Amino acid sequence: KVDYEQLCKLYDDTCRTKNVQFSYGTAGFRTLAKNLDTVMFSTGILAVLRSLKLQGQYVGVMITASHNPYQDNGVKIVEPDGSMLLATWEPYAMQLANAASFATNFEEFRVELAKLIEHEKIDLNTTVVPHIVVGRDSRESSPYLLRCLTSSMASVFHAQVLDLGCVTTPQLHYITDLSNRRKLEGDIAPVATEQDYYSFFIGAFNELFATYQLEKRLSVPKLFIDTANGIGGPQLKKLLASEDWDVPAEQVEVINDRSDVPELLNFECGADYVKTNQRLPKGLSPSSFDSLYCSFDGDADRVVFYYVDSGSKFHLLDGDKISTLFAKFLSKQLELAHLEHSLKIGVVQTAYANGSSTAYIKNTLHCPVSCTKTGVKHLHHEAATQYDIGIYFEANGHGTIIFSEKFHRTIKSELSKSKLNGDTLALRTLKCFSELINQTVGDAISDMLAVLATLAILKMSPVDWDEEYTDLPNKLVKCIVPDRSIFQTTDQERKLLNPVGLQDKIDLVVAKYPMGRSFVRASGTEDAVRVYAECKDSSKLGQFCDEVVEHVK
Ligand code: NG1
Ligand code: ZN
């Protein structure tokens, strides 16, 4: 039985932020931390309802604002299989948050809550126990917001809450999925832990090296990891301290790891800073030309790599470079295993992918490429439904690889048949690699391990990796307009439908620049319009971009 008296009391105590309109975007709710109490309260209830709807399976909730400044925070709900909240439930998240925000008293909120429960036919008098997994990044505001989130879960809805404490976003996704898989298998103690995460990924990494009888050294003398002063720092250090991790300590150095100093979070460091500014983060000066560097974002679900050449020039190895590296490696393994005709590999990109990367995947790797709208859920869906090995990365470094059921079945059956020969090596590689990837969501730690393993096996240096293709000079600018909602697009956001006539003007500009490409779309996360441009000649790029911007303003 739901204790509405108690819920009323919690509502009155918790929901201090009133009359603010909230929207659940691609990254859940995200805004200034001080305005999130009400949203946390309603999101906690929604997560419980989602679990009840799914027969009490574990539903995840992560408190984070990723690469945003330290004053912000946010929250998002994760499905039992570790994927993002079902799209048809996003409007409920919004309705409930706004009901709590605009209601003048608890009864009004309760009416809205009842409508949702009725609409989804959720039985609150059931004996099913809802299960929730919660996690938070390192932000100072998170413990308080966690209390707002969970306040009603056990006391009103009798939910069992597993609090993971401070974890990365991908750890929350992974642990939610693993807990449910164990629960389904009838495990008496289904709860997965952080330790499972470390053991699992280190295990796959070690097995891959063992398969090639490689000494456990990286293909570079040293790897520097910038963790954006976020939760990635302490979590990565736990992995590196594990007794099964035996890459020589002098090969890896973690920097920007002050997650205990709130204001430093994402400040002049991290994946977003490095990608946007195309420069080294704070705290790094190039110490050697053959080192490799990488940066996580604040909640460690993105990673970009980079190096500095002997002329001190900075070279970015972004999400496009990561997906092309994986595509090259895995296509080759499929061929070696003679599975290239039975298993379909493909790369999923957005319009922000550099034109050179797309051409390289098609023309050099001979691999299919799809383009989807911006937003991980679109890429994830395409990768999961169109390919047996679906590689997706946004240029900003968020991405993963999804291996189909057919992939796992095929590899298992081929491995059981094959004798010890060349095929077996490729089959074992494919199997280990699929285990090294966090398939629930983009994961800086897991993606980083997969890149390191790939470079070691292919004996590639950062320069070799970079020289597979050369990025076209490109520019991304933000344009503030009175109303961004009028910018409507088609063709996976590559063409404008509205304002009428604007696309024709852009096309005329593009035609003037060799290998030119440009597109305009409204941001989903900021009140701005983004203009992207790329062309062959870097000295013309600024002018090209300005001309498009002039038409947009
Ligand atoms: P918007 O603001 O819709 O362009 C940005 C990123 C996306 C994605 C989302 C977060 C660019 C150009 N856009 O989206 O790739 O990471 O934030 O969900 O980087
Ligand atoms: Zn993030």
* 228-245 pLDDT tens trace: 999 999 999 999 999 999
Q: Which two tokens stand for residue 502?
A: 């604007």
- The pLDDT score that the predictor gives to residue 418 is 67
**Over 60: is that where the pLDDT of 420 sits?**
no
Residue 421 pLDDT grade (very low, low, confident, very high; cuts 50, 70, 90): low
Q: Could you check whether 197-317 and 474-552 share the same CATH topology?
A: no
The token pair that represents 404 in the structure block: 């189909």
Q: What is residue 185's predicted lDDT score, i.e. its pLDDT?
A: 87
pLDDT band at 67 (very low <50, low <70, confident <90, very high): very high
Cα–Cα distance list, 284 to 253, 254, 280, 495, 505 (Å) = 11, 11, 6, 40, 43
Q: Is the CB of 25 under 6 A from ligand 1?
A: no
pTM, 2 dp:
0.95
- Whether ligand 1 lies within 6 angstroms of the CB of 374 is answered as yes
Closest CA to 190 of 199, 198, 181: 181
Distance CA 45, CA 124 (A): 12
Number of residues assigned to the chain: 553
525 Cβ below 6 A of ligand 1: yes
pLDDT reported for residue 450? 97
**Cα of 77 to ligand 2 centre, how many Å?**
14
Options 42, 51, 66, 404, the catalytic residue: 66
Say which CATH class 319-441 falls into. Answer: alpha beta
Mean pLDDT of 128-133: 96
Q: What are the residues whose beta carbon lies below 5 Å from ligand 2 (ion)?
A: 66, 297, 299, 301
Q: Which CATH architecture has domain 197-317?
A: 3-Layer(aba) Sandwich (3.40)
Helix (H), strand (E) at residue 365? none
Q: What does the alpha-carbon distance between residue 378 and residue 41 come to, in Å, rounded to a whole number? A: 28
Helices 4-14 and 142-155: crossing angle in degrees, nearest 10, is 170
Q: Which CATH architecture has domain 474-552?
A: 2-Layer Sandwich (3.30)
Give residue for tokens 């291996």: 403
Q: Is 142 noted as a catalytic residue in this protein?
A: no
Q: Which residue has the higher pLDDT, 152 or 187?
A: 152
Task: Let me know the angle formed at the C-alpha of 279 by 380 and 296, rounded to the nearest 5 degrees.
Answer: 40
Tell me, in angstroms, the distance from the centre of ligand 1 to residue 375's CA: 6
Q: What's the CATH class of domain 4-189?
A: alpha beta
Q: Any idea what DSSP says for residue 238?
A: H
CA of 160 to the centre of ligand 2 (A): 27
Q: What is the mean pLDDT of the chain?
A: 94
Cα 52 to chain centroid, rounded: 26
Ligand 1 centroid from CA 267, angstroms: 19
Q: Is the pLDDT of residue 254 over 90?
A: yes
Domain boundaries, the chain: 4-189, 197-317, 319-441, 474-552
